[in-house]
Structure 1
Amino acid sequence: MSKLDFAGRAVLVTGGASGIGRALAQASVRAGALAVELADVDESGLREGARVLTDAGATVRTALVDVGEESAVSAWAAECLDRNPSIAAVFSNAGVLVRNDPLAPDLTAWTRAIDVNLRGAVHCAAAFAPALTRRGEPSQLVFTASMAAYMPAEGIAPYAVTKRAVWALAENLRVDLAAQRSPLQVSVVSPPRVATPMIAATVEGVRTQRGEAAAEAFVEALPTADDMAEATVEGLRERDFYIWLPDEADAASRQGLRQRLEPIFTGSRG
């Protein structure tokens, strides 16, 4: 199996205005990508991301795209495919962390999580998998899932449920593409809690309960978006399917996942 080469090629990133999305674009440029297409609903974040990537030597285009809208994703995909003859990777990364109290459920929050986290991934797969397969060159469709998919936590059910579905989507798409001998392969990235704007509410909770110093220490102990992006690009070079942070960077999450899955395999009650 050939390695994935970024040199001189394009990468496309949804949710690319900030956090892991922007970091994935930057890591791809460091790996040799020359063109970057960023999609997001955050216009100011897109402008800043474009500035940073342009300073790094990339040709950057941005688009306001709500991935929950199939027509928006399809239109963006058509434009990207038309102007980029060689695409190394499409990062289906857009996501929202919405909270929900099961005793006072907010179905609007559930709908938004499903639209962005799950439908957004489905829309990216539908828009890009056929076209990239037809091109016949090695490329990668990369889904950002989450360790939260398998490690329950209070109040995040809409996020965890949709991210587990993304994991299943990636696994099944991988099988389908392999059966059709597509040169397009799939990866699923599973970040732990990472220091990005997505966890702002969590940080604020720590600050409220334990003070500013505790909040700063909490953030400093987390892996960064750049850590996750570098691990992702390294995994993509090898065309890995499951991509995680290295054990030394995220041993706690790995151990937590093993403990979480053990009762499933042993039939233990709990």
Structure 2
Amino acid sequence: MNASLTQYRNDLDFTGRTVIVTGGASGIGRSIALAFAAHGAQVFIADLNGDGAEAVGAEIRAAGGSATALCCDLADPAAPGEIIRAAADAYGRIDVVVHNAAYFPLTPFAEITPALLAKTFAINVGAAFGLLQAALPHFPAGGGGRMLVTSSVTGPRVAYPGLAHYAASKSGVNGFIRAAALEVAAQGVTVNGVEPGMIRTPAQDNLGGSEVTAALCQGIPLGRLGEPADIAAAMLFLASPGASYVTGQTIIVDGGALLPEA
């Protein structure tokens, strides 16, 4: 290829790079882990569901990739540091951290207890702080480290009954993304996120069957639920060299659902 054109190529080759994915045992997290592995990354999968995390790791290894799994509870303030240390010990470097794990039990507002609120914020927001703080010394010298977070349109953009705690935490996530990006920019580290809309996952499927899905799709201009791979693709871009000048931002991936105005 003509040398003058190479600057316009976005290299998605993550060979030799280590990518941590929390909540990687199923749904969006599993898809993110598989996507990075498909592009050559060494993937470290952390999840409360240890067996599920190991199953995804085995799936990656069976396909010729490299993956390690760890069972951990991100409600524990010590867990983020444990994840970073274990990944660094396993692979000797850390390049990308994807905080995808989340806690969102459907709960009426009047029944949200201090304990539930504290656990929601610990996993959804507090763990993001802990992961980035612990990862900073391990990111490549001279810049290039990436911190990515799975946020949500719920909270920053829209609200749903029974998810006040989750909405508040995801609004906090977006604030974390912007503020943290500002403070770590001097180290060459970028912080970004993805805001999924309605995505076809086991958690989404629990809301109802085909009739519920059809009703949801009526409000989505593209006429379908998103797939976990749609979120993984956005994460790949944000971790790639093509996004090296993007920081403190979130990408909304919702099939256009937020476009129609009430």
Please tell me the TM-score bracket, short chain as reference: 0.7 to 0.9
Alignment partners' CA distance in 1, 2:164 and 2:57: 33
Kindly state the Cα deviation for residue 165 of structure 1 after the two structures are TM-superposed.
0.3
- Between the aligned partners of 1:46 and 1:201, the Cα distance in structure 2 is 21
Aligned with residue 168 of structure 2, among 153, 161, 170: 161
CA RMSD of aligned residues (A): 2.5
Matched, 1:214 2:197: no
Unaligned runs of 5+ in 2: 1-6, 218-223
Q: CA deviation at 1:26?
A: 0.9
State the Cα distance separating 1:102 from its structure 2 match.
2.2
Q: Cα gap change, 1:3/1:175 in structure 2, threshold over 3 Å: closer, same or farther?
A: farther
Q: Distance in 1 between matches of 2:214 and 2:64?
A: 34
1:30 to 32, 38, 43: 38
- TM-superposed CA distance for 1:142, in Å, is 0.6
Residues 61-110 of structure 1, C-alpha deviations (whole Å, 9 max, x = no match): 11111122122221221121233234331101110122222233333322
Alpha carbons 1:26, 1:53 under 8 Å: kept: yes
Alignment of 1:233 with 2:230, yes or no, is: no
Corresponding residue number in structure 2 for 1:74: 81
Q: Percent identity?
A: 24
Q: Distance in 2 between matches of 1:154 and 1:218?
A: 17
Partner residue of 1:147? 153
Q: CA deviation at 1:148?
A: 0.6
Amino acid in the other structure paired with 2:14 = F
What residue in structure 1 maps to residue 17 of structure 2?
9
Gapped regions of structure 1 (runs ≥ 5): 208-212, 261-270
Q: What secondary structure does 2:108 align onto?
A: coil
Q: Which residue of 2 aligns with 1:136?
A: 142
- Structure 2 CA distance for aligned equivalents of residues 157 and 15 of structure 1: 21
1:43 to 2:40 alignment: no
Report the residue type matching 1:80 in the other structure: A
Secondary structure class of the residue paired with 1:147: coil
In the alignment, the residues of structure 2 paired with residue 202 and residue 108 of structure 1 have an alpha-carbon distance, to the nearest angstrom, of 24
More divergent stretch after superposition (76-85 vs 44-53)? 76-85
The answer as to whether partners of 1:17 and 1:46 remain within 8 angstroms in 2 is: yes
Shift of 1:219: 8.2
**Partner in structure 1 of residue 198 of structure 2:** 193
Name the CA distance, whole Å, in 2 between partners of 1:93 and 1:153: 20
Cα distance, 1:154 vs structure 2:
1.2
Q: What is the aligned partner in structure 1 of residue 3 from structure 2?
A: none
CA positional deviation for 1:141: 0.7
Which residue in 1 is equivalent to 2:64?
Answer: 57
When you count helix as a share of all residues, which structure comes out higher?
1
How many residues are paired up? Answer: 243
Q: 1:234–1:121: structure 2 CA closer, same or farther, 3 Å change rule?
A: same
Structure 1 partner of 2:101:
94
Do the aligned partners of 2:47 and 2:71 also contact (CA within 8 Å) in 1? yes
Q: How far 1:27 moved relative to its partner?
A: 0.9
Structure 1 residue aligned with 2:125: 118
Corresponding residue SS for 2:29:
helix
Cα drift, residue 112 of structure 1: 2.1
Deviation at 1:6, TM superposition (A): 1.6
Q: Is structure 2 residue 230 aligned with structure 1 residue 224?
A: no
Structure 2 counterpart of 1:17, one-letter code: A
For normalisation by structure 2, the TM-score amounts to 0.83
Q: Could you tell me how far apart the structure 1 residues matched to 2:37 and 2:195 are?
A: 21
Counterparts of 1:45 and 1:218, CA distance in 2: 31
